[in-house]
Amino acid sequence: MKNILATGIAAVALVTGGAAMAEYPVDNNITFVIPYSPGGGFDTIVRQFAPALEEAMGTTVVPENISGAGGSRGGQAVHRADADGYTIGIYNIPGLTVNEVTGRDQGFALSEVTWIANLAVARYGLAVAANSDINSVEDLCSKGSPAKLSDTGATSTASVTTRISFGIMGCDIVDVTGYSGSNDAMIAVISGEVDATIKPVSSLKKYLRESGSGDLKLILTLTEDEVVPGVPTVADIGHPELAKFTLNRVIGGPPGMPADVVAAIENGLRAASESDAVTSWADGAGVELGFMGATETAAMMDDLATFYQEYKDLAAAPE
């Protein structure tokens, strides 16, 4: 009887062990969708996180670029995938949020995405040429004519941030678009084509006196707390709500993902964000890691949707 009982226990253990071995995520690769072409910021962060995520989760993570439609095509691919945790994606927020509140059909609803984590955040700053007589927002808004600001396109996140921010502050501007990239938009300020530009502080740093060439000076950060010594914040000028303008690298999956699978990926991404490889890369690249778990990320997404809905008329690209 003892032998039969021992054999039964061993069989149960073998079956249980086999089932455990087959549990998520070790029986399949995880496809990590990047909704843009190789080489950009979203592509870079996924490819930096992927090896650390593999190590944390014990499986293979395969980055896959699915570009098109301003990031919507990649989002659609994730949305259509099975909700088993083997397809996740990175989302451009608030770019997709703005698209949605202004009525653009993206082929999926952000409210249906299973939010898993936020990896990084970029905060904006307002810069003018280093030799400019403009030293504050008040100076910029009292020129006697609308200030000119440079942007890549009217639907870009920086352009939307510019229009809403100055609209809230009651300052007339002309948003000069068409520059091929953020760098060209900053050079337009240096050359005197325009008066100012709003760009991520991390991008502006290479032109600031404290950290780069000294061709630009920062006159405002769109933050509540001081991030650059001596530079006023939007809280200092009485508009703390403008600190909501950030660029976030948000991770999501198909609708209806099981809670335990979400938790497993969340924990893997958290471990990856704390790994030496990722933190060293972020320090060297000037990337501000800002990990949030699934619950906090979902709350942030709801908050941003409400915020941009309030200013959707200003967010809409001018016709």
In order along its 319 residues, the chain shows pLDDT tens digits of 434 444 443 343 333 333 333 588 877 999 999 999 998 889 999 999 999 999 999 999 999 999 998 889 999 999 999 999 999 999 999 999 999 999 999 999 999 999 999 999 999 999 999 999 999 999 999 999 999 999 998 888 899 999 999 999 999 999 999 999 899 999 999 999 999 999 999 899 999 998 889 999 999 999 999 999 999 999 999 999 999 999 999 999 999 999 999 999 999 999 999 999 999 999 998 899 999 999 999 999 999 999 999 999 988 877 6
- Pick the closest to residue 132 from 11, 219, 258 (CA basis): 219
Burial label, 13 (beta-carbon count in 10 A; 0-12, 13-18, 19+): exposed
The phi and psi torsions of 242 (rounded to 5 degrees) equal -70, -10
Helix residue spans in 38-181 (DSSP H): 41-57, 72-80, 95-101, 137-141, 157-169
pLDDT in the model for residue 17: 36
Sole residue written with tokens 């991030």: 227
- C-beta separation of 79 from 111 below 8 A: no
Strand, coil or helix: 317: coil
SS3 call for 291: strand
Architecture of domain 30-121+246-315: 3-Layer(aba) Sandwich (3.40)
Domain boundary assignment for the chain? 30-121+246-315, 123-244
Which has the closest alpha carbon to 223: 154, 295, 126, 148? 126
Task: Kindly report the backbone phi and psi dihedral angles of residue 191, in degrees, each rounded to the nearest multiple of 5, phi listed first.
Answer: -80, -10
Q: Tell me the three state secondary structure of residue 148.
A: strand
21 sits in the region (left: phi over 0; alpha: psi -120 to 50; else beta) called: alpha
How remote is the C-alpha of 154 from its chain's centroid?
Answer: 19
Please report which helix (H) or strand (E) contains residue 289, including its range.
strand 289-292
Q: What is the structure's pLDDT at 15?
A: 38
Distance CA(75)–CA(71), nearest Å, equals 7
Distances (CA, A) of 64 to 29, 142, 281: 12, 48, 21
Whether 30-121+246-315 shares its CATH topology with 123-244 is answered yes
Query: Tell me, what's the pLDDT at 166?
Result: 96
Whether the ω angle into residue 94 lies within 30 degrees of 0, i.e. cis, is yes
How do 246-253 and 87-93 pair as beta strands? antiparallel
| pTM of the predicted structure, to 2 decimals | 0.85
What fold is seen in the domain 123-244?
D-Maltodextrin-Binding Protein; domain 2 (3.40.190)
Cα–Cα dist 312/88, whole Å: 29
Check the CA dihedral 63-65-71-75 and report its sign: negative
* DSSP 8-state code for residue 199: E
